[in-house]
Amino acid sequence: MTTRDLLRGLPVLAHEMPPFDPADAPDAPVPLFACWLAAAIDAGVDEPHAMTVSTVDADGAPDARVLILKDLDDEGWHFATTATSAKGRQLAGNPRIALSFHWREQGRQVRVRGTARTADPEVSRQDFLARPEGSRIATLPGRQSAVLTDRAELDRELAEVRTRLAADPGLVAEAHQVYSVTPATVEFWQADRERRHVRLRYRRAGDGWARELLWP
């Protein structure tokens, strides 16, 4: 069997999925997102807080990777990473950003487009200190996205950092940075087995939000 045949034989959106009536949607996207996230957690979706984060580089070329959502509030969607990483440098040059969530079991997708802002240093510091030890050790070298010439170099650096952290548990990675994403548009997509998918987009309008349905 060719890869093409294999791919074409795979089912897509063929399972039971929850209904979504946009007429019942709230006035703003954050409460609806919180509701969908809670439903995904309740339904046992694996890593429901994993999202694809898309940025653009200095040439306008898109780049995307998976990150963990750390918080959601009136400021928007929060994540944490290393400011000197590829994505951190891209955001410093161009803060426009897109987040996409996919909750396969429920046939749901959420797309957020907006602007990333860096949180205050104290917020980033506290976020770092609240991380599990393994994550702190992994972040302390501060070299995310740099070229690694030798895996042994990574092991040496991690061992050194582990020793430093044991001696000074309050150690904080300087480049650890929390970002919040202020949304400009947020689209909620609910699959339908008959392909009558529902797309509801919130678009910022003045102090509030305009809501519109989109053709699937």
Ligand X SMILES: Cc1cc2nc3c(=O)[nH]c(=O)nc-3n(C[C@H](O)[C@H](O)[C@H](O)COP(=O)(O)O)c2cc1C
Binding stretches for ligand X (CB under 6 A): 47, 50, 63, 65-68, 79-82, 85-87, 144-145
Q: Which two tokens stand for residue 105?
A: 């079991």
- Closer residue to ligand X (CB): 47 or 153: 47
Beta carbon of residue 80, minimum distance to ligand X (angstroms, whole number) = 6
Minimum distance, C-beta of residue 65 to ligand X, in the bound complex (Å): 4
CB-based contact 149:156 (threshold 8 Å): no
Q: In this structure, are residues 28 and 49 in contact, taking their beta carbons and an 8 Å threshold?
A: no
Distance CA 102, CA 107 (A): 8
Distance CA 113, CA 135 (A): 28
Through-space distance between the first and last CA atoms of the chain, rounded to whole angstroms:
32
- Output the smallest distance, CB 182 to ligand X, in A: 19
84 versus 211: smaller Cβ distance to ligand X? 84
- The whole-angstrom separation of Cα 76 and Cα 30 is 7
Give min distance, CB of 165 to ligand X, in A. Answer: 18
Nearer to ligand X by C-beta: 80 or 200? 80
Burial grade of 188 (CB within 10 A; 0-12, 13-18, 19 or more): buried
- Least separation in angstroms between CB 89 and ligand X: 8
- For residue 108, give the 3-state DSSP assignment: strand
Find, among 17, 184, 10, 39, the residue nearest to 114 by Cα.
184
CB of 27 to ligand X, least distance (A): 30
Residue 70 or 199 having the CB closest to ligand X:
70
| Residue with Cβ nearer ligand X (32 or 80) | 80
CA 15 to chain centre: 25
| Beta carbons within 8 Å of 83's beta carbon, 6+ residues apart | 92, 118, 175, 176, 177
17 or 178: CB nearest ligand X: 178
